[in-house]
Each structure stands twice: as C-alpha cells, then as structure tokens.
Amino acid sequence: MALGVACTSTPKDQTESTTSNPVNDLVKLKDLDGNSIDLSQHEDKAIFVNFWATWCAPCIKEMPSLEKMQKAFGDDQPVVFFYASNEPLPKIKKFAEQKPWDLNYAQLDMSLEELSIYALPTTIIFKDGKIAWTETGSKIWDSEESISEIKTFINQ
C-alpha cells in the first residue's frame, strides 16, 4: 500500500559517463568510497534502486521496511538492491554510520531529473537494460503485497 508521502528533490549537476552497458547508461551510481559502480556485473539480475535523501522524513521512515524486504529476498535472489542519494558522499557516509540499517548505500552520480525523479522517495527497478517499474512515495516494503509485487517485476 503506497502512502503517497514524498519530499521534493534537489537538483544536482549532471555528470558525463563513458560506460556502454544499457543499465550503466540509465543510472550512474558510486559506492561510498567514490568509485563508480559497474551495474553490468548484475546484468543477469533486476536492479532495485531506492532514491532517498538524509533530509527526507518519508525516506527515512521507510528504511526499516526496505531492510526487512531485502532480507526476505535473501542473497540468492535475481535482484540486487541499492539505496542512492544525490547528496555529497560525506553526508551519505555519516548517515550510514549513524543508522542501524544494513543497506547498500550509494551516491547517485547524475541528476534526479535525468531519471524523471521529482519527488523522494522514488524507487525504480531496472531489468534488461530498461526501467521495468517505478514507485513514488513511501511504502511498507516488507508487506506480503509489496514483496509479491516486486517478485512479479524481477521474475518477468
């Protein structure tokens, strides 16, 4: 069940990329050490990316249910999870260190607008080099309904 609560996003400067994989062309992420994440290494899986910000209360509120949902999928599922903010790396790192959630935090290395994201939180599932599913607003991710919905898109 979507709650319809969202924060508006803040623009970020656009960044050029030299990658050629379709998913890498759609979304550009960096790990918390500032290294580009090569999403092509996950091309056999769906890529679940939750876009959030440290200042976004609905984003933070849904993080415990995101963590529970991710654990429900386990490590051997055909999906990989990322939690991306377009904020500076030191701010994302500090947030990750202060919160108890075991989430794969990343920095978005492009503008939110390039992904047609104008409110946070927004979640996108990328599959086969394309956007397969989008959800805007906070959600109870660990409900049976939500997990079933996600499984539908990652198993297509």
∠ CA 87-118-72, nearest 5°, is 70
| pLDDT reported for residue 57 | 97
Domains of the chain: 45-154 (3.40.30.10)
CA–CA distance, 21 with 41 (Å, rounded to integer): 10
Q: What is the mean pLDDT of each run of 10 residues along the chain (156 residues)?
A: 44 37 80 94 92 97 96 88 97 95 96 94 93 94 94 84
Confidence (pLDDT) at 7: 55
CB 85 within 8 A of CB 105: yes
The pTM of this model reads 0.85
Beta bridge pairs of residue 105: 83
pLDDT of 20 reads 46
Residue 58: which of 17, 4, 117 has the closest Cα? 4
Per-residue confidence (pLDDT) for residue 70, from 0 to 100: 94
Token duo for residue 72 = 């429900």
Q: Which residue has the tokens 């660990």?
A: 142
